[in-house]
Amino acid sequence: MRVLHTDRPAVTHTSASTTESPWGPWLWLAAGVGLFFAVPFVGTDMFALPRDLYYLVYITLAGAFFAAFVLNHRDRLADLWQHHWRRSLLVGALAGAVVAGIVLSTAGTDHPDGLRWWFDIAWRGVTYGSADTVVLFVFPAAVAYLVMHGNRTGARRRAGYAGLTLALSLLVSTSYHLGYTEYRDADLRSPAIGTVVGNSAAVFTGNPIGAFVTHTAAHVTAVVHQYEGGPTHMLPPTEDDD
């Protein structure tokens, strides 16, 4: 029987996520930093969109950008979402209670009645708060995870991940808040403190999903207790006729 020999190499299938350049996560981060400065700057400074219309634009762009990012790295990020997710939600809830308590300790303001108020709680509190969570906390934590190739074995690497996540989140948060006039003319300490607290879940558990509980609680409490966001502008942009 004759044996046929071939010099053709075996065909292998490699996902795009495993062949990404080492600079890939950093390029995504740079794109996010630029985009989430530009959205509030263009939407509020240049076009002065009505607040709820601006939120619609922001939420749509944030969702599209994050969806593209996750789909591009879905295999590599799968473990991040599953890692200690129950602990992450618990830590997020505890941090959310702290933030809500801080907001409630300040002077309250009037708010609309009826369906308008319930709409604002759902739209400005839950929906806008969730979009902010993706931009300010989940996206930076995912970038940090990719930069570390998902390796957080040992106390040193876990601490390194926590520190890198916090640093990247502060970078995105600072760029984002500077897109609003009220933050360019004010002290950025309050957003910085909020960013640190919002990262509690990622820092202590290695999973950022608990930030959804923390930051959404902050937004909902602001809508309920300080309808305009209070002196720290928790619900930008500010509108005089709102």
b/e per residue 95-119 (b: at least 16 CB within 10 A): bbeebbeebeeeeeeeeeeeeeeee
Residue extents of the structural domains in the chain: 22-225
Would you tell me how many other CB atoms lie within 10 Å of the CB of residue 88?
24
Q: What is the pTM of this model?
A: 0.89
Give the DSSP per-residue string, 184-213: HTS-SHHHHHHHHHHTHHHHHHS-GGGHHH
Q: Are 236 and 190 in contact (CB under 8 A)?
A: no
Low-confidence ranges of the chain (pLDDT < 70): 1-19, 239-242
Q: Are 55 and 123 in contact (CB under 8 A)?
A: yes
> What is the reported pLDDT for 6?
42
pLDDT for 39-88, tens place per residue?
999 999 999 999 999 999 999 999 999 999 999 999 999 999 999 999 99
Q: What is the C-alpha to C-alpha distance for residues 74 and 80, in angstroms, rounded to an integer?
A: 10
